[in-house]
Structure 1
Amino acid sequence: MKFTFFTALILLFAPLTSYSLSQISNPNYDPELAEKLGADDYGMKSYILVILKTGENTSINKEMRSNAFVGHMKNINKLVDQKKLIVAGPFGKNNNDFRGIFILDVSSIDEANLLLETDPAIKEKYLKAELYPWYGSAALSEYLESSDKIWKVNP
């Protein structure tokens, strides 16, 4: 077989052609929902992942600590109501001083930091926050409506 310029072009572009032909459109795609949720073509979007760790405040003042964590829980609920906090929850016992996570529906670390400044447990340094850009399903926020219907006792 003689190797020609045309053969080289076919070998170069054949993988791209098969890739584009192998992509299948989603028959369940809902463009209005995708737009409402801010989804890209893959159904994904950017968030800020917050890892909450044990802070440097080791005060033994139980009242101050209790007030900070009561405020922490109130702040969580406020951020959920504002649709800025998508996921929140504690870690189990671990060796990394990880206390909990937040997934914030904001587009920048700066915006996330502004929200975290409203948290008394972070402000009082009982918790410290590490922030990371995170890419996940744009439908993540959709679980919140159901989550409010499945708890029996408010902690």
Structure 2
Amino acid sequence: MKTIKLLFVSIFIVNTSVLIAQDENEKYDAELAKQYEADEYGMKMYTLVLLTSGENEDDSEKRNVAFAAHMQNINALSEEGKLVLAGPFGKNDKDFRGIFILNTTDVAEAKSLLEADLAIQQKYLKAEYIPYYGSAALISHLEVHGKIWKTQP
């Protein structure tokens, strides 16, 4: 009976140590994690900005100017490392227009980064700011993207 108990305890210990070992990432790179400001899960906080149609439905040249400035603002924020991801949505019945993921945990800072955006300022777009927890490596896609676009929007 003691042998059977000892066998079960041994099996339990071996299985437990195997499960614990599986939680550790063999490819973990501490320097890279530090560079991307990753927590122990490889994640970090950002601010997600959900853009919807604003109240201003004016379809004049002012709108074209505002959206041209909007694109300039996107490019400037990207170059500064403040914009991690941006893009428009396809047609949808929710009136969603696009998203930004900003490299800041502070919603007030996110708002200040977009306060000069004419499309938001002139109410062609409305911005909702939401704290977002995602992969700390999101920012790394900018380097790759910079090598694959042929024509800048």
Instruction: Work out which of the residue numbers 57, 60, 78 in structure 1 matches 2:76.
Output: 78
Residue segments in structure 2 that go unaligned for 5+ positions in a row: 1-15
- The residue number in structure 1 matching 2:11 is none
Distance in 2, matches of 1:44 and 1:148, equals 23
TM-aligned CA deviation for residue 22 of structure 1 = 5.4
Who is 1:46 aligned against? Answer: 45
Partner Cα distance (1:55, 1:77) in 2: 22
For 2:97, the aligned partner's letter is R
1:140 equivalent in structure 2: 138
Unmatched 5+ residue regions in structure 1? 1-16
1:127: which partner in 2?
125
Query: Are 2:93 and 1:95 aligned?
Result: yes
Q: Deviations over 1:28-51 (max 9, x none)?
A: 111111111110000000011111
Taking the aligned partners of 1:104 and 1:117, their CA distance within structure 2 comes to 14
1:1-20 to 2 correspondences below 5 Å: none
TM-score, length basis structure 2: 0.85
User: Partner letter of residue 98 of structure 2?
Assistant: G
Structure 1 residue 134, shift from structure 2 partner: 0.7
Report the number of matched residues: 139
Whole-angstrom CA distance in 2 between matches of 1:123 and 1:68 = 9
The percent identity for this pair of structures is: 56
Q: What one-letter code is carried by the residue in structure 2 that aligns with 1:81?
A: E
Give the letter for the 2:72 counterpart: K
Question: Aligned AA for 1:99?
Answer: R
